[in-house]
Amino acid sequence: MIHKPYLLFLGDAHDQLAAKVAQGIRDWRPQDVVGQLRLPGCQADLKINDLTVAEAVSAGARTMVVGVANRGGVISPAWKSTLIEAVESEMDLASGLHNYLRDEPDLLRASKANGRQLHDVRQVSQAYPIANGQPRSGWRCLAVGTDVSVGKMYTTLALQRELAARNVKATFRATGQTGILIEGDGVPLDAVVADFMAGSIEYLTPENDPDHWDLIEGQGSLFHASYSGVTLALVHGGQPDALILCHDPARETMRGLPGYALPALEDLRDLSLRMARIVNPRCEVVGVSVNTSGLSAEKAEAYVRRTSNALHLPVTDPIRYGVGDLADALLAMSVPGN
Amino acid sequence: MIHKPYLLFLGDAHDQLAAKVAQGIRDWRPQDVVGQLRLPGCQADLKINDLTVAEAVSAGARTMVVGVANRGGVISPAWKSTLIEAVESEMDLASGLHNYLRDEPDLLRASKANGRQLHDVRQVSQAYPIANGQPRSGWRCLAVGTDVSVGKMYTTLALQRELAARNVKATFRATGQTGILIEGDGVPLDAVVADFMAGSIEYLTPENDPDHWDLIEGQGSLFHASYSGVTLALVHGGQPDALILCHDPARETMRGLPGYALPALEDLRDLSLRMARIVNPRCEVVGVSVNTSGLSAEKAEAYVRRTSNALHLPVTDPIRYGVGDLADALLAMSVPGN
Percentage of chain B lying above the pLDDT 90 cut:
96
Residue B279: closest CA among chain A residues belongs to which residue?
A: A225
How much is the mean pLDDT over chain A? 96
- How much is the pLDDT for A331? 98
Question: Does residue B278 sit at the A interface (CB-CB below 8 Å)?
Answer: yes
Instruction: Give me Rg for the CA atoms of chain B.
Output: 20
Question: If DSSP codes are grouped into helix, strand and coil, which group holds residue B327?
Answer: helix
Phi, psi of B93 (to 5 degrees): -120, 145
Interchain proximity B256–A191, CB inside 8 Å: no
- Which residues, in sequence order, are CB contacts of B25 under 8 Å at separation 6+? B6, B8, B32, B33, B65, B67, B181, B182
Alpha carbon distances (Å) from A145 to A71, A139, A162, A248: 28, 20, 21, 9
Interchain proximity A198–B222, CB inside 8 Å: no
Interchain proximity B133–A226, CB inside 8 Å: yes
Q: Give the residue ranges of DSSP H helices in A67-212.
A: 80-87, 105-113, 152-165, 177-183, 197-204
Summarize pLDDT for B149-196 with one digit per residue, the tens.
999 999 999 999 999 999 999 999 999 999 999 999 999 999 999 999
Question: Does residue A199 sit at the B interface (CB-CB below 8 Å)?
Answer: yes
Distance of CA A113 to the CA centre of its chain: 32
Question: Does residue B273 sit at the A interface (CB-CB below 8 Å)?
Answer: no
Confidence of residue B338 (pLDDT cuts 50, 70, 90): low
Q: What is the mean pLDDT of residues B307-321?
A: 98
Distance of CA B152 to the CA centre of its chain: 8
Q: Tell which residue, A273, A234, A137, A132, has the closest CA to residue B254.
A: A132
Q: Per-residue pLDDT for B70 more than 70?
A: yes
Question: Does residue B148 sit at the A interface (CB-CB below 8 Å)?
Answer: no
Q: Closest partner residue to A133 among B199, B226, B229, by Cβ?
A: B226
Residue A277: closest CA among chain B residues belongs to which residue?
A: B223
- How much is the pLDDT for A108? 97
B-chain CB neighbours of A271 within 8 Å are 274
C-alpha–C-alpha distance, residues B246 and A63, integer Å: 52
What interhelical angle do A105-113 and A80-87 show, nearest 10? 20
Question: Does residue A233 sit at the B interface (CB-CB below 8 Å)?
Answer: yes
Q: Tell which residue, B125, B135, B82, has the closest CA to residue B100.
A: B125
Chain A and chain B share a number of CB contacts under 8 A equal to 127
Interchain proximity B233–A228, CB inside 8 Å: yes
Interchain proximity B194–A189, CB inside 8 Å: yes
Sign of CA dihedral B274, B277, B281, B286: negative
Question: Does residue B286 sit at the A interface (CB-CB below 8 Å)?
Answer: no
Question: Does residue A279 sit at the B interface (CB-CB below 8 Å)?
Answer: yes
- Which residues, in sequence order, are CB contacts of A209 under 8 Å at separation 6+? A137, A138, A169
- How much is the pLDDT for A72? 74
Question: Does residue B267 sit at the A interface (CB-CB below 8 Å)?
Answer: no
B-chain CB neighbours of A257 within 8 Å are 132-133
- How much is the pLDDT for A319? 96
Task: Answer whether B317's CB lies under 8 Å from B289's CB.
Answer: yes
C-alpha–C-alpha distance, residues B66 and B51, integer Å: 14
Interchain proximity A131–B226, CB inside 8 Å: yes
B-chain CB neighbours of A189 within 8 Å are 194
B-chain CB neighbours of A194 within 8 Å are 189-194, 197, 229-230, 233
Interchain proximity B229–A223, CB inside 8 Å: no
A-chain CB neighbours of B274 within 8 Å are 271
Question: Peptide bond before B77: cis, by omega within 30 degrees of 0?
Answer: no
How much is the mean pLDDT over chain B? 96
A-chain CB neighbours of B230 within 8 Å are 194-195, 197, 229
Alpha carbon distances (Å) from A292 to A149, A165, A244, A300, A315: 14, 25, 16, 6, 11
Summarize pLDDT for B96-151 with one digit per residue, the tens.
998 999 999 999 999 999 999 999 999 998 999 999 999 999 999 999 999 999 99
Summarize pLDDT for A196-219 with one digit per residue, the tens.
999 999 999 999 999 999 999 999
CA distance, residue A252 to nearest chain B CA (Å): 16
B-chain CB neighbours of A192 within 8 Å are 193-194
B-chain CB neighbours of A198 within 8 Å are 225-229
Supply the DSSP symbol for A1.
-
pTM of the predicted protein model: 0.96
- How much is the pLDDT for B69? 85
Q: Per-residue pLDDT for A71 more than 90?
A: no
Summarize pLDDT for A117-137 with one digit per residue, the tens.
999 999 998 999 999 999 999
- How much is the pLDDT for A338? 63
C-alpha–C-alpha distance, residues B197 and A157, integer Å: 28
Summarize pLDDT for A239-298 with one digit per residue, the tens.
999 999 999 999 999 999 999 999 999 999 999 999 999 999 999 999 999 999 989 999
Interchain proximity B193–A190, CB inside 8 Å: yes
Q: Closest partner residue to A229 among B198, B274, B279, by Cβ?
A: B198
- How much is the pLDDT for B336? 79
- How much is the pLDDT for A291? 96
What interhelical angle do A265-279 and A228-238 show, nearest 10? 50
Q: Per-residue pLDDT for B71 more than 80?
A: no
Q: Closest partner residue to B229 among A233, A254, A259, by Cβ?
A: A233
